[in-house]
Structure 1
Amino acid sequence: MIRISTIFIAICMVLVAASLGLALYSVAGISGTESAIVALTALTFLILYNAVSMRLRDRSDVGGQIADLSRGTADLARQVAEFGRRLAAVEGRIASSNSTNSDRIQSVVGEINELGGLVRQLATTVSAHEDLLAGAAPVSAAVPVEKQEPVAPFDLIATTDERPAAPLPLTAAPPMSTALPLPPAAPPAVAQPRPAQAVTAQAANGRNQTQLLAALRNAIDENRIDIFLQPMVTLPQRKVRFYEAVTRLRDERDQLIAAEEFISIAEASGLIGRIDNMVMLRCVQVLRRLMVRNKDVGVFCNVAASTLGNSTTFAQCLDFLEANRALAPSLVLEFKQSTFRNLGPAETENLAALAQRGFRFSIDHVTDLRIEPRELADRGVRFIKVPASLLLDPKQASASDIHPSDLSDLLGRFGIDLIAERIEGERAVVDLLDYDVRFGQGFLFAPPRPLRPEGASATGGAAPNQAQDIQGSNGSATPSSGATSSAPPSQRITGNAALARRI
């Protein structure tokens, strides 16, 4: 609809042009035709002037609106960033508060248990003293100490380097008025045997390939393939989000052999398929136990390239995974970078069969950053684990197609999460946060720890290689007090418990 001001201006321009023509006709004596031409010419100039002025005015108005919109967008972006920072700070405080409360509860429960045991010991000692004073107890008998059952802790991942000393027996002193023989002194503490978890690959280094192959066959036949779990945490909150299943082999002396010692021999001898089947079964069992407490946790399970290419072995794995298809969102199958770069027709088809059933993949043993995220995402890859030293290496900026600091953002556009592994120092964590890395793994957070078989008690007598269960939903892992030797463990004395022991 034409505005009223535009109509008014048009009328005014017509009147001005007509007045000019009448003035020329009546005053200057010009003929009517010439006066009309002059009036039309004046009207045309007025119309052109008005159109140009309106166009200039509209342009200035549009420019102002664009500037206002830009300022509003910038303000909105700043507010969103501020809200993001506040939300991250709140999440960090909540995570820290949960961890602190859990630690406090653990310490209080431990001290209560220790106080209960000490009170029982104190009651037993007092009762024995009363019996001796009444003459009812043998003069040279020592009061036995009741064996303490260590209470099962809330944490479920074990540490294997703790070696509790044997508790000293409490003896009842005879009355001073009678000449009674002193009770026999406590026997010296026997040196604790080194648990199997503390044995490193040095034992495997002393074997040749024939001995390793024999040990490998015996371990497979006797089901002595153990699973260790190493957590992957979120950064910077350091909340446990995933676990990687690490394979360990136990020989006939219960000494552990690391995977890098026997994997090449297992692949050459054709035994890697049986190992992968056993490890996959253990991973599913562990994942089911984990998901009882935390539905958001996941497990990374390593699969060898030969297993993926062997039709018979892969058919068995596929049948097993098909039966456990409900766990597909939480079970991540991990392959080496070299495996993905050398996929043949059979491997590609088998990989597509796994992806079709909903299983996700991860890539580890990354040696360079020449990565094609679109191709990997199409194949079902959702995680890439890169060593922290490789990400922070300045030489990678010139050797790869993308700067390492932009790798996480690039992978995120295709739905792939970057995991920095082998983190061993706080300095590396600070640098990785600048690279927008969301997940981290390494000995800085926790080493691989063994699993305790389901149903095992928390008392002594467990085998040295037995592990403890998985942690609770808060994602924190604390050392357990499960015994790894035949000697009865002494409980840790802290706080009020120490005061009661002194009393």
Structure 2
Amino acid sequence: MARLFGRHTGLWAAGLLGVVTLGPLAVFFPSTAAFALGAVGCLGAGTALGRGSGLKARCEKLSQEVNVLSQRLLKAEQVAAPHPDASPPEGLRAEVHELTVEIGLLSGIVRDLSAVIRSQDDEIAALKARDAARAQQAAAPEPQPEPMPRIPVMAEMAPVVPPAPPPRPSSVEQAWTPPILSRLPEPPAANVVEPAPLPVPRPIPPRRLETPRAPSEAAIIAAFDRGRLDVYLQPVVTLPQRKVVAYEAVARLRIDEESLEPVHYLSALERNGRTTELDRRMLARAESIVRHLLRRGSDARVTYGLSPLSLFEPGFLKEIARMAGDGQDLAALEIALPQASWRGLDSGQRALLTALRGRVGFCLDRPTDLRFDTREMADQGIGQVKVPASLLLQPAAARGALSDLAVEDLAPALARARIRFVVTDVETEADVPDLIDLNVPFAQGAAFAPARPVRGEILAALPQEAPPPPPPADDPGTERRSFRSLLRRAS
């Protein structure tokens, strides 16, 4: 009943009221009942007409809305459908950009070659014109000068130097000469050759800035022997908070009030077999710095990069083991080795480095590619990886050095293996947002803080170098060196 009378309750009530009213009225007053029934019919017809017009308006409105929806659906289909003028995907866009850059470089090279060829063509044309002028002059008859009195002054004149006093003329030459003849040029001699046209000048190359002269190898060795080593520390900060959590120790050599970075003097030390001695001195200074930080209650780490040649020095790794001791006092000291050295370790070196695990930390730096095997690195005890920003932010330039992982997934993969990922050589602030987008947790470079020297009192707290072995009794002035060091110096 509720379903039957729900929407039409008013109509049923009006019909029931009409039947109850018009039934007795039709019995007693038939004419009145007829008029009343007609009025009710007219009222019903008007009501039905009004509802019909309302339904018609609603249908028209619905049809308009359906039309709008259909138009929107067509637009959506056009947008979703592949269009020939649609923008290419990101990969294609990157490849097109690389091709555009290469085409630009090639066009610049072609432009330079065309300029060089044009200048050479101009020089060749000038040489041909000079040869033609010489041939034409040689074929032409020699002009015969007209006899005229000799003018000594003209022979003695020069364009810049004031003329010397002419010699006293003889009796024949004392004849009067008209003034106009003194301004006439001297007749050309037979062997005088006309000057050739000047060649077209080449474009002047840009002037290079003069760089300071590099010190000699003897000066570098002398400064190293005198112990003119300074320790610089460059902080490693977190991103994006920029909190200092570690330092990298760098050795600089002072020569004539100039501080040289390792790239300027390390090759000279390698040729003279001094890199192992450099590492010994720097490890002693790094030990002093670590102990100073521990006394201050700091948990910052100190990293120092060893030379690959020191691994082949007999007893060097054992010296590091003796320096580290049996405890974990130097656990904050990290020894960094290049990626090529980690991959080329022999069994003996692996055993010695394994014995150092837990007493000192290990770091991988100077990578040649980003193909890191996290399981193998964890087995070797590597707790930190340092990658230059250029290798990470310029994948197009280092296409052959990329790993199978995406660049943004490299830091999380190393973090899962409990390996710290540090990006070095960050020079500008513009690279910092890109590193944050790549989920890089730690960074190092001039954009955050430059390398600063360590105060002398910190290095003086502990002995800077291990005491050398006692010299032989028969020759106290000689210094004991290993046979491998002597061979390296001889070569």
Task: State the TM-score, normalized to the length of structure 2.
Answer: 0.48
Does 1 or 2 have the higher relative contact order (CA < 8 Å, sep 6+)?
Answer: 1
Larger radius of gyration: 2
Task: State the TM-score, normalized to the length of structure 1.
Answer: 0.47
